[in-house]
A and B are shown apart, each in its own frame.
Chain A
């Protein structure tokens, strides 16, 4: 299995631009999570999906952030418009819920908003 696949690995953009991060979970996993990691705030859960349905998006910082999961094998996290304070590493993780299964993390997207 290829594991959780995220793209792009690095993204550099200018303030005000739209940014889209992509994630392909492990096949067969039914839960998908988006985390943001910064030095100041550590690992923050932004949103998680179960069976493609958003269950908890209370961690999404503002309306500028949105996430979708149109099918079991793909999710996006979009920031529009982006701001410098959005600069962080964004991780996607997946798991098989209901079985005490651990999270499997992707390699992350390093986002820099100038």
Chain B
């Protein structure tokens, strides 16, 4: 079974600061997804990364994928309170259609 690990699990950061969330996975895959979940809500898709070196950016969030290192990062620039949420990465195997989710990173941005 494909394993997906995120770190940190919990992140508390001040507004205006930068930080990176890491997502490691255990087997070959070139499809990596980032999701956001607000408390009590469903999961919302943020980014889809489909090749080595892929980089996607939206607002203060930027995601990248290194398939050789089996690593994806979600970088937060100049954090604001509205970014407080839990962020999940998910990996889909090269063959088949299962999506395996990481443990999630609970982000709290403090004013």
A101 to chain B, nearest CB (A): 8
Q: Is B43 an interface residue (CB 8 A)?
A: yes
Are A100 and B50 within 8 A (Cβ)? yes
Are A105 and B42 within 8 A (Cβ)? yes
Measured in the bound complex, the distance between the Cα atoms of B50 and A108 in whole Å is 27
In the complex, number of A-B residue pairs with CB atoms less than 8 Å apart:
48
Q: Is B14 an interface residue (CB 8 A)?
A: no
Contact-residue bracket for chain A: 20 to 34
Are A31 and B97 within 8 A (Cβ)? yes
Residue numbers in B under 8 Å from A103 (CB-CB): 33, 43, 45, 90, 99
Residue numbers in B under 8 Å from A20 (CB-CB): none
Q: Is B25 an interface residue (CB 8 A)?
A: no
CB-contact partner of A56 in B90, B98, B104, under 8 A? B98
A21 to chain B, nearest CB (A): 14
Are A45 and B42 within 8 A (Cβ)? no
Residue numbers in A under 8 Å from B48 (CB-CB): 100, 102
Q: Is B87 an interface residue (CB 8 A)?
A: no
Per-residue A-contact encoding for B70-111, CB less than 8 Å = 1, 0 else: 000000000000000000101010001111111110000000
> Nearest CB to that of B48 among chain A residues?
A102
Residue numbers in A under 8 Å from B100 (CB-CB): 45
Q: Interface of A with B (CB < 8 Å)?
A: 31, 33, 35, 42-43, 45, 48, 50, 55-56, 91, 93, 95, 97-98, 100, 102-108
